[in-house]
Structure 1
Amino acid sequence: MARNETNKTAASPLRVAAISVTLTLLLAGGGAYFLGYLGPRDGHNPEPAAETATGGGERKIAYWRAPMNPTEIYDKPGKSAMGMDLVPVYEDEVGSTNAGGEAERKIAYWRAPMNPTEIYDKPGKSAMGMDLVPVYEDELVGGVAVSVDPVTQQNMGIRTALAKQEPLVFTIRTYGHITSDETRTTQINTKTNGWIEKLYIDFTGKFVDEGEPLYEIYSPELLAAQEEYLVAYQNMQRLTGRDNQGLLASARRRLQNFDIAPGEIDVIEKSGKVRKTLLVRSPFSGFVIQRNIEEGGYVKAGTMLFRISDLSRIWVEAHIYEYEFSWVAEGQAAEMTLPYQPGKVFSGRVSYVYPYLQPKTRDVVVRLEFENPDLALKPDMYVDVRIKSSSGRQGLVIPSEAVIRSGARNVVFVTRPSNKFTPRDVTLGLPVDGGKIQILTGLAAGETVVTSGQFLLDSESKLKEAVQKMLEAKREKIQEAEEIEEDFFEDMEEEDDFFRDLEEE
Structure 2
Amino acid sequence: MRLLLMFLLPFLLYAERLSIEQLFNVKTTKVAQKDLFVQKTYPAIVKLDRSKIVDIAPRFSGYVEKLYAKEPLQHIKRGDVLALIYSLEVYNAKEEYKNSLKFGLDKRMTAASYLKLKLLGLPKDELKNPTKTLTITKIVAPIDGFLLKKDVYPGSFFQKGKTIFRLASNTHFWIEAQIPSKDIDFYKQSVSIIAQVQNEKLQVKKHKLLPLLDTNSALAIVRLFVEAKGILAGEYAKVTIIEHKKSILVIPKTAVIRKNGKWYAFRVGEYEGEYEPVVVQIKPLNNRYYQLISGLKEGETIADSAMFLLDSDAQINGLYND
Instruction: Flag whether TM exceeds 0.5 (same fold).
Output: yes
Contact 2:35–2:245 under 8 Å retained in 1: yes
Amino acid at match of 2:98: Y
1:262 positional shift: 4.2
Write the distance in 2 (CA, Å) between the matches of 1:335 and 1:268: 47
1:325 aligns with 2:178: no
1:213 positional shift: 1.2
Assess, with a 3 A threshold, how the Cα gap between structure 1 residues 443 and 351 changes in structure 2: closer, same or farther.
farther
Write the distance in 1 (CA, Å) between the matches of 2:122 and 2:263: 78
1:353 positional shift: 3.1
Contact 2:280–2:294 under 8 Å retained in 1: no
Q: What is the total number of aligned residue pairs between the two structures?
A: 270
1:391 aligns with 2:253: no
Assess, with a 3 A threshold, how the Cα gap between structure 1 residues 448 and 350 changes in structure 2: closer, same or farther.
farther
1:169 positional shift: 1.7
Q: Unpaired segments of 5 or more residues in structure 2?
A: 1-19, 268-273, 312-321
Write the distance in 1 (CA, Å) between the matches of 2:297 and 2:197: 39
TM alignment of 1:240-251, pairs within 5 A = 240-242=104-106, 245-251=107-113
Amino acid at match of 1:257: L
Of 183, 192, 198, which residue of structure 1 is paired with 2:60? Answer: 192
Give the aligned partner of residue 363 of structure 1.
220
User: The residue matched to 1:226 in structure 2 has which SS?
Assistant: helix
Give the aligned partner of residue 306 of structure 1.
165
Assess, with a 3 A threshold, how the Cα gap between structure 1 residues 213 and 347 changes in structure 2: closer, same or farther.
closer
Write the distance in 1 (CA, Å) between the matches of 2:296 and 2:142: 65
Of 141, 157, 160, which residue of structure 2 is paired with 1:282? Answer: 141
> Once the two structures are superposed, what CA deviation does each residue of 1:59-80 show, in whole Å capped at 9, x if it has no partner?
xxxxxxxxxxxxxxxxxxxxxx
TM-score using structure 2 length: 0.63
Give the aligned partner of residue 84 of structure 2.
216
Write the distance in 1 (CA, Å) between the matches of 2:159 and 2:292: 65
Assess, with a 3 A threshold, how the Cα gap between structure 1 residues 282 and 163 changes in structure 2: closer, same or farther.
same
> Once the two structures are superposed, what CA deviation does each residue of 1:135-184 show, in whole Å capped at 9, x if it has no partner?
xxxxxxxxxxxxxxx9xxx9xxxxx9875421122233222222345565
Give the aligned partner of residue 123 of structure 2.
261
TM-score using structure 1 length: 0.43
Amino acid at match of 2:190: V
1:421 positional shift: 6.5
TM alignment of 1:331-410, pairs within 5 A = 332=192, 334=194, 336-338=196-198, 344-349=199-204, 351-354=206-209, 356=211, 358-360=213-215, 361-367=218-224, 369-372=226-229, 375=230, 377-387=231-241, 389=242, 391-398=244-251
Contact 1:206–1:287 under 8 Å retained in 2: yes
Give the aligned partner of residue 171 of structure 1.
39
Write the distance in 2 (CA, Å) between the matches of 1:378 and 1:386: 20
User: The residue matched to 2:73 in structure 1 has which SS?
Assistant: coil
> Once the two structures are superposed, what CA deviation does each residue of 1:235-266 show, in whole Å capped at 9, x if it has no partner?
4322x243xx2223222322332222244456
TM alignment of 1:230-249, pairs within 5 A = 230-238=95-103, 240-242=104-106, 245-249=107-111
User: The residue matched to 1:269 in structure 2 has which SS?
Assistant: coil
Write the distance in 2 (CA, Å) between the matches of 1:412 and 1:450: 18
User: The residue matched to 2:219 in structure 1 has which SS?
Assistant: coil
Of 145, 150, 153, which residue of structure 2 is paired with 1:292? Answer: 150
Contact 2:262–2:279 under 8 Å retained in 1: yes
User: The residue matched to 1:363 in structure 2 has which SS?
Assistant: strand
Write the distance in 1 (CA, Å) between the matches of 2:237 and 2:95: 57
CA RMSD of aligned residues (A): 4.3
Give the aligned partner of residue 413 of structure 1.
263
Contact 1:197–1:217 under 8 Å retained in 2: yes
Assess, with a 3 A threshold, how the Cα gap between structure 1 residues 167 and 235 changes in structure 2: closer, same or farther.
closer
Q: Unpaired segments of 5 or more residues in structure 1?
A: 1-149, 155-159, 339-343, 405-410, 458-467, 469-505
Contact 1:333–1:350 under 8 Å retained in 2: no
Identical-pair percentage: 16
Write the distance in 2 (CA, Å) between the matches of 1:204 and 1:311: 14
1 or 2, which has the higher helix percentage? 1
